[in-house]
DNA sequence: ACTTGTGAATTGCTTCACAGCG
DNA sequence: CGCTGTGAAGCAATTCACAAGT
């Protein structure tokens, strides 16, 4: 009888950190690693790493540690990186173009299959190995190829409208660079990549040293 | 007698969301807002908003709600956005350049004052309103202008080395686009802007629908 | 001897429910 | 009456400490 367990969000948030680090460690030719050492490399407490991994079975060997390649591949499978994820980019401005080019060079597991924009001047331009197509062609394209992920790099004013369209044709995950909170149905996931959010968080800690003070 | 209270990290993480949204609401000419309505706009439970804001005093009026402009400015002060933050960019590749241009157009509260790269071919290029300077000039520049924030957009191989240099000349906050976990002293803050992390988290939820299944 | 996997204790955050005020 | 501010309850995540395994 199949049953399902909910994995803590914080665990999922850390898995890509482990994965990224294990890739590097593997390249260095290291075969075994302890939660201790991995912890230092990813900046996470070893017991957190062990708890995180334990959700998915017994991935390590007691007294020894974790096999780097095996663990890397296990985490890859957990994250769904054993398949290639096609995604589209909406918005071929400077930022969108740079992201697309960057992905072409460094992207693993995710490949750009379409770029869309409203501006006719952009049509036909090559961006990240794809020709920019008019926004009107997006719905058919996404439905036909059954694409689930979109990167959104359009101006704030357009972002909500575009998000709506994306959802309507079946997109389930959006990585948004737009500086607004998108409203989407709850079965659609949005990650905010607007770097101003992070800059502002930085500013808080730099201003307040993590606290606020009162009194005299 | 001065005393200090620790604000939850999750509260700080949400403040920029509120701030971003309040700016928009203010532009629409709305003067008062309840935690209820704001909650819908930012996708956060109203009681979370009230608890978050309560850390900083009584910012609202019972029976009425929050004054939009007043609240926006209060949050701005809390985050340290009442001052302008100068920052530098290290790495004038495609991504760095796009980020710099983007910041010039849309950046509030943070302004780019220097761009550095190791590649002599880049020297002198205009990026985000600044001329690209050789990496060697960075330490003197940062120290002299007392800059605290850096954006890091260099290849993985260089990133750790550069992070070290940044820390050595007084940088306290790094927004890193490099696909590695940087190791820095604990009084230095690093935010990871590597979008592959978010794509991988998306992939997990799209693959597993938030769960994993066992058994038969 | 060393390191994982894991229940138990602890800490921190969110949700609830309502008193306090406009 | 409506909405904030807040103690208390409930839930989730981290930390601890050690048994289990190599």
Each residue's pLDDT expressed in tens, for chain B with a length of 216 residues = 456 778 999 999 999 999 999 999 999 999 999 999 999 999 999 999 999 999 999 999 999 999 999 999 999 999 999 999 999 999 999 999 999 999 999 989 999 999 999 999 999 999 999 999 999 999 999 999 999 999 999 999 999 999 999 999 999 999 999 999 999 999 999 999 999 999 999 999 999 886 666 543
Return all residues near B57 (Cβ < 8 A) that are at least 6 apart. none
Cβ of A109 and B200 within 8 Å?
yes
What is the distance between the alpha carbons of residues A100 and A129, in angstroms, rounded to a whole number? 8
Per-residue pLDDT at A103 = 95
What is the distance between the alpha carbons of residues A6 and B209, in angstroms, rounded to a whole number? 10
Cβ of B215 and A24 within 8 Å?
no
Å separating the CA of residue A199 from the C1' of nucleotide C11? 28
Structural domain boundaries in chain A: 9-79, 85-198
What is the distance between the alpha carbons of residues B39 and A9, in angstroms, rounded to a whole number? 21
Q: What mean pLDDT is predicted for residues A129-157?
A: 97
Q: Above 80 in pLDDT, residue A152?
A: yes
CB proximity under 8 Å: B 15-54 to A: 15-17, 19-21, 24, 40-43
Cβ of A202 and B189 within 8 Å?
yes
> CB–CB of B52/B59 below 8 Å?
no
Model confidence pLDDT, tens digit, residues A178-203? 999 999 999 999 999 999 999 999 99
> CB–CB of B183/B160 below 8 Å?
yes
B107: helix, strand or coil: coil
Q: Is the CB of residue A129 less than 8 Å away from at least one CB of chain B?
A: no
Cβ of A16 and B197 within 8 Å?
yes
Per-residue pLDDT at A1 = 44
Q: Above 60 in pLDDT, residue A52?
A: yes
Per-residue pLDDT at A108 = 93
CATH topology for A85-198 is: Rossmann fold (3.40.50)
Q: Which long-range contacts (CB under 8 A, 24 or more apart) does B71-74 make?
A: B71/B18, B71/B22, B71/B33, B72/B19, B72/B22, B72/B23, B72/B26
String of DSSP letters for B22-35: HHHHHHTT--EE-H
Considering the four listed CATH numbers 2.40.170.20, 1.10.2020.10, 1.10.357.10, 1.10.10.10, the one that applies to the domain covering B9-79 is 1.10.10.10
Nucleotides of D under 7 A from a protein CB: 1-7, 12-17, 19-22
Known binding-site residues of B for NAD(+) equal 91-96
What is the distance between the alpha carbons of residues B124 and B118, in angstroms, rounded to a whole number? 12
Å separating the CA of residue B77 from the C1' of nucleotide C14? 26
């Amino acid at each position: 009888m199949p049953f399902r367990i909910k994995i803590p969000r914080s665990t999922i948030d850390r898995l890509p950190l482990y994965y990224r680090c294990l890739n590097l460690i593997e390249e260095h030719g290291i075969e075994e690693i302890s939660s201790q050492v991995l912890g230092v490399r990813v900046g996470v407490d070893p017991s957190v790493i062990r708890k995180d991994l334990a959700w998915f079975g017994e991935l390590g060997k007691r007294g020894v540690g974790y096999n780097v390649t095996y663990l890397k591949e296990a985490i890859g499978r957990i994250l769904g990186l054993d398949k290639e994820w096609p995604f589209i980019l909406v918005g071929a401005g400077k930022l969108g173009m740079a992201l697309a080019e960057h992905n072409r060079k460094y992207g693993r597991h995710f490949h750009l299959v379409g770029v869309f924009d409203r501006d006719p001047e952009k049509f036909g331009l090559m961006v990240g190995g794809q020709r920019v197509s008019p926004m009107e062609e997006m719905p058919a394209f996404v439905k036909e190829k059954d694409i689930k992920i979109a990167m959104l790099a359009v101006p704030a004013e357009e972002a909500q409208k575009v998000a709506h369209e994306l959802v309507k044709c079946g997109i389930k995950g959006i990585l948004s660079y737009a500086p607004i909170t998108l409203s989407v149905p709850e079965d659609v996931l949005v990650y905010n990549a607007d770097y101003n959010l992070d800059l502002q968080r930085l500013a808080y800690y730099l201003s307040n040293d993590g606290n606020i003070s009162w009194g005299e």
